[in-house]
A and B are shown apart, each in its own frame.
Chain A
Amino acid sequence: MPVIEWKALPRQVQDHLLDRLRVRGITAQDLGVLLAWINADPQVPEGAWCKDFGSLKVVGEGISQNVPKQRTALLWSEDLNPALGRRRNQHPPDAIDGKGREAGRP
């Protein structure tokens, strides 16, 4: 199973997260949960995936099965990409849709 390559996270995405955090678009508690998840060095599914932390989401897509250690993750908040976003707390925080879609949505 691949792991997330945090070095590959674009600077703009990091800045966006920190900007949203400053104006409380992301809660401190949700960010704490994100940090604990990062520190667990999680393995992620093949293909597109999404993990919901409440006030933010992490989505990613694999680069190649032949390069399992390289994986780019992008951070999104709901205002950044409403088409990807789902209503807050609609699913438990540990829900991961390996197809990158909201569970139950075609």
Chain B
Amino acid sequence: MLSLIPFLEELEHGNQMVILPSAEVERLVGRFGPRVRSMGVWNKTSDGSVEISISNIAEAVKTLDNQALAEAVAQLKSSGQFAEVLSESSAAGRLIEAIASLQETQFVQKVERYQASADSVEVERLRYEISRELFGQ
């Protein structure tokens, strides 16, 4: 059995993603605002899903205590149809913000690496990734 840190390292190195389907994305946007789409790569020109890095989720969860995490899960699961719009200060809102902030920081770092790299293979890979995040497939 893996302990926590090796488990998180495995997640990070494996670069595994969670796919949030379009309908779920729009439901969450309706409840928590457009920051939901910034939690990962929004496939705006294809199926409207959002790809979220599992390592970012794990990192963001660490910013919440157990009580707040339980609240966040309950808020994320609740139906948006009759529920009130929850603010950024809600537990789920804080979790979404934490994931989105990580994603944005990594995007800026990726752009800086694209600008600085002298490795043509890496430049092409980063160019593709930046283009995909900005404009879709």
A32 B114 Cβ-Cβ under 8 A: no
Q: Say which one of B5-13, B15-23, B68-76, B129-137 lies at the interface with A.
A: B129-137
Which A27-49 residues sit within 8 Å CB-CB of chain B? 28-29, 31-32, 34-36, 38-41
Q: Is B27 interfacial (CB-CB < 8 Å)?
A: no
Q: Is A18 interfacial (CB-CB < 8 Å)?
A: yes
A41 to B48, CA, bound (A): 11
B104 A36 Cβ-Cβ under 8 A: yes
B45 A7 Cβ-Cβ under 8 A: yes
Given A18-B131, A41-B37: A6 and B44 within 8 A (CB)? yes
Q: For B133, list chain A residues within 8 Å (CB).
A: 35
Additional 9 contacts, C-beta under 8 A, given A14-B131, A31-B108, A31-B130: A21-B115, A31-B107, A35-B38, A35-B104, A35-B134, A38-B44, A39-B37, A40-B34, A41-B44
- Using C-beta atoms within 8 Å of the partner chain, give the interface range for chain A: 20 to 34
Q: Is B119 interfacial (CB-CB < 8 Å)?
A: no
B131 A35 Cβ-Cβ under 8 A: no
**What is A's interface to B at a CB cutoff of 8 Å?**
6-7, 9, 14, 17-18, 21-24, 28-29, 31-32, 34-36, 38-41
Q: List 22 A-B contacts (CB under 8 A).
A: A6-B44, A6-B135, A6-B136, A7-B45, A23-B115, A24-B115, A28-B108, A28-B109, A28-B115, A29-B108, A31-B134, A32-B104, A32-B111, A34-B134, A35-B104, A35-B107, A35-B134, A36-B38, A38-B42, A38-B44, A39-B35, A40-B37
A16 to B136, CA, bound (A): 16
Q: Which residue of A lies closest to B37 (CB)?
A: A39
Nearest Cβ on chain A to B83's Cβ, whole angstroms: 21
